[in-house]
Structure 1
Amino acid sequence: MRVMVIVKATKASEAGELPSTELLEAMGKFNEELVNAGIMKSGDGLKPSSTGMRVRFRGNERIVTDGPFIETAELIAGYWQWEVDSMDEALEWVKRCPNPMTEESDIEIRQFYEMADFAENDPDGNIAEQESQLQTATAMQESTLTPYLFFGGRCDEALAFYKQSLGANVVMLMRFSESPDPVPEGMLQDGFENKVMHATVRIGQQNIMCSDGCGDATSFNGFRLTLSQPSTDECKRAFEALAEGGNIDMPLSKTFWATLYGMVTDKFGVGWMVMVPEPQN
């Protein structure tokens, strides 16, 4: 079950008194224990209500009140979201928590509603389905999409090429011979034992993952990598560097969407679109 663990505000927290170094260290250790136990999903402290606002709903009227708010006992100073098996488990964890305040304080445990709790008012399941879609959309907003390229035995050569032509930085590299788990028998083509199993490379502000794969078969059909440059000089330099040993598919030229735009396939078969985007109005 999901629970919210609420740290209630006190006079000190509402006055903006910050926790001591010792308390910060103790809370940090407690949070680390929660994370290691797989319980903590999120958590943050809140600034005093003097920095906040409150909106009262009265029919169609919206009445805004600036903080501070005087009902200290009703205010919160921080929270966690935990995933636990029971309220009893949550309670045991709260009992282990250091006192989050420099004075007497309260922590409240509240259980989240789940869609199953509203089943009676959602007999056809449409509202639950909508909620599920919203949760998926929210999770995807936190996702990242990273290209993964397989160079069929030429990964080392490709990395050296991109270092020289694009200033690529190899963040991490592991060879098959360095794998902490043995490679399954028959998986690798002969001679690939010391090839690149996985590498993470940063080009500009984007990470790209790459590998030699398990054999010399490779294909880069159906996509291109887009490289946006801040100036025409740098665009021309990168375009010419990528074209060395490769093919120019569309020479650099001005388009309605870019100051300069061109397409090139490098000597490893990776397609690129190199451009200087038009300034945004």
Structure 2
Amino acid sequence: MATPNVYLTFDGECEKAFEFYRSVFGGTFKDLNRFGEMPPSDDMPPMPDEVKDKIMHVSLPMDNGTVLMGSDTMPGHGGPLLKGNNFSISLHPSSRKETEQLFSALSKGGQVTMPLEDTFWGAYFGMCVDPYGIQWMMNYDEPANE
């Protein structure tokens, strides 16, 4: 079964907040990617310069096996950030099939905010809001071929 992790969203303060969390919990960032690292895309307008250095994704593994993750908002994507709705529960299912089943069940009666799709970072990813207003992220990573 998919392990839940908390995903926090910030309005330009993600890097500062995660430096704080790292000072509190210790550890090393597993990922730290900026919006400016995204490859160009036909369905994405040009990236404004003021957004390029903001955090697209950061992850801080915790001693108990969970991962604290976060990002800054990107103008024009999603609704306005309000303190209180700036978190999601992120699931990392063990198969594409489980990802689709969980996504379908959680989004039924709710809202799909990003359909499941293969991403440039190599994951099968999507986002939804369940019927009770809780935001969910699904991220399935294909096993590495060895």
TM-score bin (small chain): 0.3 to 0.5
Higher helix fraction (1 or 2): 1
Higher strand fraction (1 or 2): 2
Q: TM-score, normalised by structure 2?
A: 0.46
Q: TM-score, normalised by structure 1?
A: 0.25
